[in-house]
Every structure is written in structure tokens, then in C-alpha cells.
Structure 1
Amino acid sequence: MTSAAEQEPHEQRLGAVVRRRGQVQPGTTDQRLLESTGPSDFIHRDPWRVMRIQSEFVEGFGALAEVGPGISVFGSARTHEGSPEYAAGVAIGRALAEAGFAVITGGGPGAMEAANRGAYEAGGTSVGLGIELPFEQGLNQYVDLGVNFRYFFVRKTCFVKYSQGFVVLPGGMGTLDELFEAVTLVQTRKVTRFPIVLYGSAYWAGLLEWLKNTVAAEGKVAPADLDLIQVTDDVDEAVALVTK
């Protein structure tokens, strides 16, 4: 005769999760916790990843909470030192620091390094929010406060949460991703009063023309949505637009 203790439960409650029939797991949560042997693949499972994600938010928020008002500067990691775009990044970083703003970038090379360099040389706060990638970049030498993230969405949250606006230099997929993420948040009013400035009218002209003559013309966005993006070729104007 099978005792009550030996019978398989038909329903199992694990915190907020209910498991029934074939989804019932053997043992209990605390039993599995106290086991000193067993598979270690639990660290690669989604519930464990949630804890890792939580820790990234805690570390990011903790590191950036006292940075003060900041502006994020985006641009290509492939921008070469000595190019006009690199020089513009340095000038923008310097001007933002002199205006009393922390400069926040993705912490990598190219345009990001340029903006961090400008802030560093001006004696301002130079911040880099890096990301774990298959091809390691590391934080550039001009970052004074750096946070490396595993997850893009945690990093994006920190960019928006601790920035009062974005300056976007010419860039590729990552730059476009950050640009349209910001535009979407403003368009949907998830964030309010968040200026977005594109630097380099020649580079951005094709994109802006497509948004106006195709996307807006076909009613995919309202014409007013395009006013969320401003463009300039002047460093002082870019800083004024993003900090006013």
C-alpha cells in the first residue's frame, strides 16, 4: 500500500507558479537548494537569468544615481581619430562638460571615445556604458565611470533613465537602434521632454527624407512626429538644443 507521503502530488505550488499533472517537479524548492550535489546547468536557465538581470539593474542604478544631469552621445565605433566626425565628438563632449553635464556614451572606441575624451579633457564627468559582445571592445581610456552590461535592454534603460537628451553622431546599426528607441519612447510619451539632436545634416539627410516622403507621406507616422528629431551641423547649436 502506498503511503500519502509517497503519492505523487497532482498539484504543486512554487511561489507564484502552479504546476499540475506532467508539469509537477520532484522534491521541493528548499530541498533542491540544500542539495550539495547535482547538475549545475541551473545557472543557465531563465529563472536564474532574471536574478542576473536584476543585479545588472541594481549595479547600473547604483553607479549612475549620483552622476547628476547627463547627456548621452551616440555614434559609430568605426569613426577614426583625426576625422571631422571624431573632432566633432570631442568638441561636443567638451561643450557638454563645460555646460555642467555628464557625458554618457557606450564606452567604446570611435565617436564614443571622442565624446568621452572631450568631457575628460574639460574636467567633466565621463561615463561609459559598455556591452558584452563576441568581439571585445572594452571601455575607452577616457571613461572615468564605467559599467559593463550583459543585456542590451538593461543598458538602454540606463541610457534613458540617466540622460536628459541624446546627441547622435553619424553611426551604424547600434546608433540607429538607440535613436529610434528614444524617438519611440518620446512619441509614445513613455518619457517626456527628451530632446534628440542629430549632428551632421549631410549624413542624416537620406534618412530624414525617407521618413518625411515615405513613412509620413503614407501615414505610418504623423508629420508632427518628425519634429521630435532636430538636426544641426553646429556644435554650439547641438548643445543648446539638447540642454535647453
Structure 2
Amino acid sequence: MDAPLIPAQPHHASHDREIESLAEFDEVVARDGTLAHYRVQAVDLTDRTEVLTSVGTEGAVFLGCPMDPDAATAVRAAGALVFPPVPGLPFDPYRAFVYSPDELFAGLDDGYEATPDALAYAWFQRTKADGDIFGSMLRAVHDDAVSDALDELLAGARVVGVMGGHAMARGTEAYAGAARLGRELARAGLTVATGGGPGAMEAANLGAYAAPFTDGMLEEALLLLAKAPSFTPSVTEWARAAFEVRERWPGGGASVGIPTWFYGHEPPNAFASGIAKYFANATREDGLLARSNAGVVFLPGAAGTVQEIFDNATPNYYESRGEPTPMVLVDRAHWTERLPAWPLLRALARGRSMESRIVLVDRIEDAPAALKRHGG
């Protein structure tokens, strides 16, 4: 059985002058003897004053790097740009990496409201409509940094998106089916990417987490999670159940969650190893679908999932991202009767190259084979 993973990749050419950790900083200084024209991103340089005042920094850019005031003065005088850390924020707008579950849920023992995730949402609620250009700039810088980090994380990966509603409860057969789907996709060597929230999204990330373990692990995990079936009324208890699973079975498989603070009532799930969380939902939606280069599976959902179907159909229709990618809709009754997106999708695809890449299946168990058969 192949363990699911997100391949660790070196920087691409566009990133080969980025420094994103103190170890990278020291390596570049030792190797090149200069920082000229490098971009140093969210690295704490308070203990590197001697280096910063003795090596070349012409054309360098320091993004949110704490440093001694004398060092900041010296590098500016040498021709560098310094964007200092912004105090008082519950997030780092210049961050170099996607989030981890442990980072977003830090302080959960004191209740979800005390976590960085909840604090970032509270800040967003206070600032999203006040018209302050500084707040909107910080959100835009943050989201661009997250996109850059996500691109680096997924470089070279075959990514399959799994979309579905947040209302799918733990303890249901639908949730278990979505988890088994995520496990099968991950075991096939695909990187599972979801909207990163509860319900069907969490189930698919859970399945990817369970992929390296025996089949019995997932069945036990499902029973543990069923103790807190929904994130309402208590996000705290819902999240604690997930961390209980992670603690009992550490070192699970990798997957990606791409949630948003726009839907603040939806917390991120703790089973995605990399969480690219955005303030702008439109950026998040487009980015999630654009990175699903091996296709997308659409589980039953409501307005958000319907939107994702047609957000994905549009570039497939126009082939604006190249060859169309597979789209697999699961549950015939849901997509032809309750929310009849399938007839419209099929009509839209008629006569286009995407026509052979769309499929409707009755059972979630049929989705992996359909994805593969239609080009995934």
C-alpha cells in the first residue's frame, strides 16, 4: 500500500531567491556571502544583527521579519525594503507556510474561542466592512502569501478535489462513505484536497489521514468521532474529538484543506495536514478548483457545492486551464431531483471536449473508478 503524501519540493525558479526559515537564511549567507535581491519572508532575525549589518542587502526585501532597529536601519541604508511585522494581529500576513491544525487550534483546552482560528475570524468580523484600506491590504497580503505557500506545498502533486456540504454529520453512513473515498484516493497516490471544513470535507481529509493505517483504524476513528457528531452547538467538543483521534493514531497521511474565514461559522477540520485558510472566499474557491489537476468529486451538498460544480465547469468548458479535468457527481437522486445540477451540466458539456470527462454515479464507492476511467 502506497502511503499518501504531498511531495516535498525544492523552490521553483520563481521561488529560488526566497528565504523562508532561519536555516535557509544561514545557508544562503554561508554560501553566497550576500542577501542582495533575496526575499526574506517571516523569519525572526533578532539574533542576526551582526550578519545583517555586514553583508550586502541591496535590492533585498524583508517581509515581516523581526529584527533589531539598528539592523533595520542598516539594511534600509544599503538599499533594502523592510516591511516590519504588524503588531496586534492574530495572524501573520507575511507567513511563509500554510497552517497546521495544531497552529490554528492552539489553546483549544481553553475553548475554541481562544484559538488563533477563532481570533482571526473575530478580527475579520471587526474589520471586513469598516472601509479601512489598511485592513483590506493586510487581508490581501495574507491571502497572497498563503497562495504562494500552497503552490510550493503542492508542486508536483496529483491533486483530486473532494467537494461536499458541511452538514454531513459524523456517525452517518454518508460520512463514513466520504471517509472511505478519501482513503482510497490517498492510497492511489493522489493528494486529497477539500474545502477544509466540517462534514463531507472533514470526512475526506480523515480518510486521507487514515490511509497509512489498517482498515480497522478508520472504523474505530469513526466511532470516536460520532461522540461529537457536529460542530454545532460546540466547536470545542467537535475539535477535541478530532484531536483525540490524532493523538491515538499519530502520523497519519497528508492531505490539504482550503477553508475560509468568510464562513466563520465553519471551523477548519483537524485532519488536513496542510491548511491554506483565506479571508477572501472567491480566491479560496478558485484556488481550490484550479489546483485539483486530477479531477473533482462532488458529494451531495447545497448552495456552496452547486457553486463549485459550475465554477469548475467554466474553465473546463472554455479549456482555459488546458485539457478538461474529470468531474464526478455522486448521488443521482440528489443531483437530478433535489438539486438538479446534473441535467444543466450535461447540457452545457454537450459537444465540448469536457463531455467525456463528466459522470454521474449512484454510490460513493463508484467514484474512484469513475474518476480514473474519465481521466483522473
Partner of 1:126: 255
Please say if 1:188 is aligned against 2:315: no
Note if contact 1:95-1:236 (Cα within 8 Å) is conserved in structure 2.
no
| TM-score, reference length from structure 1 | 0.71
Partner of 1:147: 276
Note if contact 1:119-1:126 (Cα within 8 Å) is conserved in structure 2.
yes
Partner of 1:94: 183
Please say if 1:112 is aligned against 2:239: no
Compute the displacement of 1:167 (Å). 0.2
Tell me which of 199, 223, 238 is aligned to 2:330.
199
Q: How does 1:156-195 map to 2 (within 5 A)?
A: 156-163=285-292, 164-191=294-321, 192-195=323-326
Three-state SS of the structure 2 residue aligned to 1:230 is: strand
Query: After superposition, what is the alpha-carbon deviation per residue over 1:191-218, rounded to whole angstroms, capped at 9, x for unaligned?
Result: 3230000011111122156528xx94xx
Note if contact 1:56-1:154 (Cα within 8 Å) is conserved in structure 2.
no
Q: How many residues align?
A: 198
Note if contact 2:262-2:281 (Cα within 8 Å) is conserved in structure 1.
no
Query: After superposition, what is the alpha-carbon deviation per residue over 1:93-128, rounded to whole angstroms, capped at 9, x for unaligned?
Result: 011011111111111110001111111111332211
Amino acid at match of 1:211: L
Partner of 1:54: 144
Amino acid at match of 1:159: L
List alignment gaps of at least 5 residues for structure 1.
Answer: 1-32, 34-39
Note if contact 2:331-2:364 (Cα within 8 Å) is conserved in structure 1.
no
Q: For the structure 1 residues 209 and 170, does the alpha-carbon distance in structure 2 shift closer, same or farther, using more than 3 Å as the test?
A: closer
Q: For the structure 1 residues 93 and 209, does the alpha-carbon distance in structure 2 shift closer, same or farther, using more than 3 Å as the test?
A: closer
Query: After superposition, what is the alpha-carbon deviation per residue over 1:130-168, rounded to whole angstroms, capped at 9, x for unaligned?
Result: 101353422212111111111123223332332120000
- C-alpha RMSD over aligned residues: 2.8
Q: For the structure 1 residues 175 and 209, does the alpha-carbon distance in structure 2 shift closer, same or farther, using more than 3 Å as the test?
A: closer
Write the distance in 1 (CA, Å) between the matches of 2:139 and 2:168. Answer: 34
Q: How does 1:2-21 map to 2 (within 5 A)?
A: none
List alignment gaps of at least 5 residues for structure 2.
Answer: 1-82, 84-130, 213-252
Note if contact 2:297-2:327 (Cα within 8 Å) is conserved in structure 1.
yes
Partner of 2:368: 239
Three-state SS of the structure 2 residue aligned to 1:141 is: coil
Partner of 1:78: 167
Of the structure 1 ranges 80-89 and 182-191, higher mean CA displacement relative to structure 2 is found in 80-89
Partner of 2:223: none
Tell me which of 43, 46, 51 is aligned to 2:134.
43
Larger Rg: 1
Please say if 1:224 is aligned against 2:355: no
Write the distance in 2 (CA, Å) between the matches of 1:168 and 1:203. Answer: 11
Write the distance in 2 (CA, Å) between the matches of 1:142 and 1:52. Answer: 23
